[in-house]
């Protein structure tokens, strides 16, 4: 991580953010089915609300990890009563079906490059590029992901670089070019820069 921080501190704006927020400590998860289900639950919800709903889902499935078989045994109306929207219920069930039939294979993801992982996961209805980027960063631990669709990253960039608008994906890529190959680390610090407002 020392090499990443030395590299990123060459960007004077990012250097200030890194000094202010200290040690890098990304909260990694395992690259498994349950982690992607968790990502779907957390889409567009506050962390606290999502955590409650995810906890209910885990409890409804009993001990052990969340599996495709467990999800498919749960009735749709039961999933809705746990607090999942109709769309998220559909997306989680679609992921379970794809995983069960072998069109999504979690064991192969670590062997794929980032673009192939995004393509592999986004074949499932409800898994977009943002969710695939989160999986790359937090589960597969890829060091050079820039989630251009993440509102938090866009807001942090707008604030840190005093932009008069939220940056477009193209503008984000241009700002982040000098962070390569450590864009994931830079992104983590940008998220942290919004925490202490």
- What are 121-130's pLDDT values in tens digits? 999 999 999 9
Confidence of residue 196 (pLDDT cuts 50, 70, 90): low
Catalytic residue among 27, 114, 144, 150: 150
Q: Angle at which helices 47-61 and 33-42 pack, to 10 degrees?
A: 140
* Third-level CATH fold of 33-138: Endonuclease III; domain 1 (1.10.340)
Taking only the tens place, the pLDDT of each residue in 95-106 is 999 999 999 999
Name which of 149, 145, 152 is nearest 184 in CA terms. Answer: 145
Name which of 179, 35, 1, 43 is nearest 110 in CA terms. Answer: 35
pTM of the model: 0.89
Indicate whether 136 pLDDT > 60: yes
Please give the CATH architecture assigned to the domain spanning 2-26+145-195. Orthogonal Bundle (1.10)
Q: Residue 89: CA atoms inside 13 Å, Cβ hemisphere, count? A: 14
Q: Quick one: pLDDT at residue 44?
A: 79
Taking only the tens place, the pLDDT of each residue in 60-85 is 999 899 999 999 999 999 999 999 99
Percent of the residues in the chain that have a pLDDT greater than 70, as a whole number: 99
Instruction: Check if 144 is active-site.
Output: no
| Residue spans per domain, the chain | 2-26+145-195, 33-138
């Amino acid at each position: 991580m020392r090499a990443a921080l030395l590299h990123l501190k060459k960007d004077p704006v990012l250097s200030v953010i890194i000094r202010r927020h200290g040690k890098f400590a990304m909260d990694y998860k395992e690259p498994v089915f349950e982690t992607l289900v968790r990502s779907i639950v957390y889409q567009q919800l506050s962390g606290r609300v999502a955590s409650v709903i995810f906890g209910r889902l885990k409890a409804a499935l009993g001990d052990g990890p969340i599996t495709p078989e467990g999800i498919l045994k749960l009735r749709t109306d039961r999933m809705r009563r746990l607090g999942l929207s109709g769309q998220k219920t559909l997306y989680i069930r679609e992921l379970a079906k794809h995983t069960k039939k072998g069109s999504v294979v979690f064991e192969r993801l670590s062997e794929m490059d980032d673009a192939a992982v995004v393509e592999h996961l986004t074949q499932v209805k409800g898994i977009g590029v943002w969710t695939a980027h989160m999986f790359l960063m937090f589960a597969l631990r890829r060091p050079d992901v820039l989630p251009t669709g993440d509102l938090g990253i866009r807001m942090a960039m707008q604030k840190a670089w005093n932009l008069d608008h939220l940056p477009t994906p193209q503008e984000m890529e241009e700002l982040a070019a000098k962070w390569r190959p450590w864009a994931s680390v830079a992104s983590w610090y940008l998220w942290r820069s919004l925490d202490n407002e």
